Amino acid sequence: MASGGWQEHKLTMRISQQIEKPRCAAILIGSGRNNQRRGMAPGERIFVDRLIAHGDELGAVYEEIDRKLQAHPSAIHCLLASIVRAAVLCSEFGVLRGKTSRSPDALSVKGRGVSGSFAQALRADFGKAMFAVIELNSMRNGGVLPVGFMLSDAAVGTLAKYVLETTLPVA
């Protein structure tokens, strides 16, 4: 590729990344507006707002989603909704686990195949939930996500960070 062609390619890639990056945020903003009218669950609203507020930090995750699902626009909507639902479920599970525990040792996850703290267990639970919702929403199971689609471990880890840092209101 000639040097002028290479520069054009790099510019095109940079422009496409700038265009793709806000697409996930725009979908989240739109879903928040639409679901407010239909009664979005408070926990979901909290996570949607958090994902929107931290869009710059989640840029690599959004770029990965756009890159892998650009040929399947409805799958992007499905995946983002699944991320929010998995986050809410894991957070609610964490709140319940914390309420039922009488000692900090009970929050250990020994015996579950994962060693470490409660936060590590919640992160592992979020990872499992993400992989499960991806599989449930795959075309093989009547969903819209392409068969074989998977988020990278880095993307799931980044999303899990926001699950761990977000506190849902206790009912």
Q: Which two tokens stand for residue 169?
A: 């209101």
CA pair distance 80, 40, nearest whole angstrom: 14
Both structure tokens of 37: 């009218």
Residue 113: CB atoms within 10 A of its CB come to 7
Identify the pLDDT of residue 62: 92
| Segments making up each domain of the chain, as ranges | 41-97+115-170
User: What confidence score (pLDDT) does residue 13 get?
Assistant: 45
Residue the block writes with tokens 């909704």: 81
Q: Which residues pair with 145 in a beta bridge?
A: 138
Query: Which pLDDT tens digit goes with each residue over 77-90?
Result: 999 989 988 888 88
With a cut of 50, list the residues of the chain below it in pLDDT: 9-21, 104-115
Summarised one tens digit per residue, pLDDT across range 7-31 is: 554 444 444 444 444 688 888 888 7
Taking the C-alpha atoms of residue 14 and residue 131, their distance in angstroms, rounded to an integer, is 30
